[in-house]
């Protein structure tokens, strides 16, 4: 390494000319395992400022690239820092992060770049500036399975591309602070994927109702009014998160009671020709009334009256959920029938209607069961992929907004099912054709193990030190040098590294048309507050919607009380519409 006071030979350009006549701008001074120090000639760099190629003209800037010729290969390095040369004021010392190597193509242009180094430079090797043609060759993915999403910074005509297969098969994470443009970036990537592969299957977990506007005409929005999520698709763990409210040892006892009653309800509701080897997790339709009947039966056998409180607590919670119209999208008499096939077809976008995106809008879902809904959707996506491997299976992309809410860094009791479902996809989804896209503004609150499963990391502006360190730990070695630029990124700019790109790159993302952008823009306080509004009328509508949630279309004209009573009524035959 070059230290102040060390005596070194000054660099002279006259001794280094490339075969094509293009002069180098410096030489290698010191080499280490993953980087090098190069001595750049100030006069050579100044002479390039007026060059017709803007990339050559910007040679020597921090964040730019240089290339070093070693035999019949180019070694590519990114400039991390520049400081004065203590041995010669006519030079500067640049610190390079060596990224990979390439063949030397016609005109000495980069060709067939690949990450990693097989050989290293030696002190004295010539350092050359990168050209526009070099950058085009460096960042072009080639082939037909790529999507272009923006321009390589700081160029205006070198396109940045993502490899679809590498991006999806190994999962990806989109990270950035609030207001950095994450939602627009996510919408851009999904739109470009659909443009390239119009028969894809994408499921978006949308906690704030942002994406309906973006995918109008290209997707279906499922919210509390039309989701129609059958409660009997829940496994036992998800049932417990909805109905078991106790903690500690009492919770374990309540879960044991629920397990016995749920098993009886599923078995009793079986059709005559149905298999009998089912468990509490089997997706078999049943009537909620059968659980209450089983609870009453067990209560009648109690010898110890002190245990009665557990049964009463469980029964009261079930009745509370059934009679609350906020839960009608899930606990609804119209959902008792075996609708598994139609539900899967709708959610996984197997219907041939030219709308490959399913948006699960959770903005109207009660907070206490949001995690259960996400867990159920994620588990269904994964289970379907496993059981359909022998069929004409189509891969699915599951995009999860606010991922840190469902896969937190700290393990907690509540929401365990959703964490387990998403972690399972992160670890095993690649084998079954399930891709996971995690979007988060707080990567430090996201489980580190899950983030490390993401092969491609797209990072937007990030100011928090803990978040930056978390991203640094998750990024591959070659991309960590870019992280110093995270706080300085503008809105709509990102750093991409991993399997989806040829090498780590800073990108200025394309701006979607207004009708395709998510509804995530910040309100203009000054503009809105400068005009008078109809506050009274607005409040009337707000209070009306607040107090009276809309019923599902299938139950139009039916009150929430009637729905609850219908779910409580015993039925002689589960799958008969006339018996409901």
Q: What number of CA atoms fall less than 13 Å from residue 57's CA on the CB side?
A: 8
Task: Grade residue 2 by pLDDT with cuts at 50, 70 and 90.
Answer: very low
Q: State residue 275's pLDDT score.
A: 60
388 exposed, middle or buried (CB, 10 Å; 0-12, 13-18, 19+)? middle
Kindly report, residue by residue over 148-160, the tens digit of the pLDDT. 999 998 788 889 9
- pTM (two decimals): 0.84
pLDDT at 118: 87
What is the full DSSP assignment across 119-164? S---TT-EEEE--HHHHHHHH---SSSEEEEEEETT-SS-EEEEEH
pLDDT in tens, 60-105: 888 788 999 998 889 998 888 899 988 888 899 999 988 888 999 8
Nearest to 98, CA basis, from 118, 83, 78: 78
pLDDT at site 480: 61
Torsion angle, alpha carbons of 192, 193, 198, 199, to 10:
-170
User: Which pLDDT does position 574 carry in this prediction?
Assistant: 40
Say if residue 308's pLDDT is above 70: yes
User: pLDDT tens-digit profile of 317-367?
Assistant: 999 999 998 899 999 878 888 889 999 999 999 876 889 999 999 998 999
Lowest mean pLDDT among 131-140, 303-312, 436-445, 495-504: 303-312
Query: Is pLDDT above 50 for 9?
Result: no
The mean pLDDT value for 133-137 works out to 87
Q: What's the pLDDT at 532? A: 72
38-67 per-position pLDDT tens digit: 999 999 998 888 888 888 888 888 878 899
Q: For position 577, what pLDDT does the model report?
A: 35
Q: What are phi and psi of 541, to 5 degrees?
A: -65, -40
Half-sphere exposure of 154 (CA within 13 A, CB side): 13
pLDDT in tens, 245-300: 998 899 999 999 999 999 999 988 776 666 667 889 999 899 999 999 999 998 88
Which whole number is the average pLDDT over 14-21? Answer: 39
pLDDT in tens, 464-514: 888 888 888 877 665 666 777 788 899 999 999 888 988 888 999 999 999
Report the pLDDT value the prediction gives residue 393, as an integer from 0 to 100: 78
Q: What is the pLDDT of residue 58?
A: 85
Residues of the chain above pLDDT 90, percent: 48
pLDDT bin (cut points 50, 70, 90) of residue 449 is: confident
Distance CA 79, CA 129 (A): 11
Q: Which of 565, 561, 552, 575 lies closest to 288 in space, CA to CA? A: 565
pLDDT for the residue numbered 29: 92
Name the helix (H) or strand (E) containing 251: helix 248-268
Closest to 285 (Cα-Cα) out of 220, 333, 336, 234: 336
The SS3 of residue 345 is helix
CA distance 358 to 203: 5
Question: Given pLDDT bands bounded at 50, 70 and 90, which one contains residue 314?
Answer: very high
Round the average pLDDT of the chain to a whole number and report it: 84
């Amino acid at each position: 390494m070059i230290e102040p006071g060390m005596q070194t030979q000054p660099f002279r350009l006259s001794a280094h000319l490339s075969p094509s006549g293009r002069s180098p701008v410096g030489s290698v001074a010191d080499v280490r395992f993953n980087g090098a120090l190069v001595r750049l000639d100030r006069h050579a760099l100044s002479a390039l400022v007026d060059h017709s190629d803007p990339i050559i003209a910007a040679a020597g800037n921090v964040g730019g690239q240089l290339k070093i010729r070693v035999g019949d290969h180019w070694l590519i390095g990114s400039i991390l820092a520049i400081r004065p040369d203590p041995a010669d004021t006519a030079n500067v010392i640049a610190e390079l992060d060596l990224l990979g190597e390439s063949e030397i193509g016609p005109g000495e242009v980069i060709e067939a770049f690949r990450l990693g180094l097989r050989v290293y430079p030696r002190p004295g090797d010539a350092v050359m500036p990168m050209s526009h043609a070099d950058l085009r060759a460096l960042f072009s993915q080639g082939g037909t399975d790529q999507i272009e999403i923006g321009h390589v910074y700081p160029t205006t005509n070198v396109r940045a591309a993502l490899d679809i297969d590498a991006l999806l098969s190994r999962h990806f994470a989109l990270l950035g602070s609030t207001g950095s443009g994450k939602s627009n970036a996510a919408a851009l990537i999904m739109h470009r994927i659909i443009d390239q592969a119009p028969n894809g299957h994408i499921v978006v977990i949308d906690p704030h109702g942002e994406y309906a506007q973006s995918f109008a005409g290209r997707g279906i929005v499922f919210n509390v009014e039309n989701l129609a999520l059958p409660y009997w698709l829940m496994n036992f763990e998800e049932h417990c998160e909805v109905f078991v409210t106790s903690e500690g040892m009492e919770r374990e006892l309540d879960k044991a009671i629920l397990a016995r009653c749920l098993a009886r309800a599923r078995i009793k509701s079986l059709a005559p020709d149905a298999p009998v080897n089912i468990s509490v997790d089997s997706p078999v339709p049943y009537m909620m009334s059968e659980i209450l009947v089983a609870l009453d039966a067990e209560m009648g056998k109690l010898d110890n009256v002190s245990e009665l409180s557990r049964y009463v607590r469980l029964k009261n919670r079930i009745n509370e959920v059934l009679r609350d119209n906020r839960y009608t999208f899930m606990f609804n008499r119209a959902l008792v029938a075996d609708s598994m096939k139609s539900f899967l077809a709708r959610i996984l976008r197997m219907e041939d209607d030219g709308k490959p995106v399913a948006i699960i809008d959770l903005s109207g879902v009660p907070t206490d069961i949001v995690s259960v809904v996400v867990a159920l959707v994620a588990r269904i996506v994964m289970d379907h992929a496993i059981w359909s491997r022998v069929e004409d299976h189509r891969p699915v992309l599951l995009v999860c907004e606010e991922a840190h809410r469902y896969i937190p860094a700290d393990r907690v009791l509540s929401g365990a099912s959703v964490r387990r479902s998403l972690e399972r996809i992160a670890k095993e989804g690649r084998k079954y054709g399930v891709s996971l896209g995690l979007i988060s503004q707080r990567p430090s609150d996201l489980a580190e193990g899950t983030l490390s499963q993401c092969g491609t990391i797209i990072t937007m502006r990030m100011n928090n030190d803990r978040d930056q360190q978390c991203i640094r730990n998750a990024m591959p070695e070659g991309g960590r040098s870019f992280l110093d630029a995270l706080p300085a990124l503008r809105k709509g700019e990102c750093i991409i590294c991993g399997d989806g790109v040829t090498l780590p790159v800073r990108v200025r993302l394309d701006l979607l048309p207004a009708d395709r952008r998510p509804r995530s823009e910040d309100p203009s306080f000054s503009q809105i507050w400068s005009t008078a509004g109809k506050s009274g009328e607005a409040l009337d509508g707000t209070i009306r919607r607040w107090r009276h949630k809309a019923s599902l279309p299938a139950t139009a004209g039916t009150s929430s009380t009637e729905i609850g009573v219908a779910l409580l009524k015993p039925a002689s035959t589960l799958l008969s519409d006339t018996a409901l």
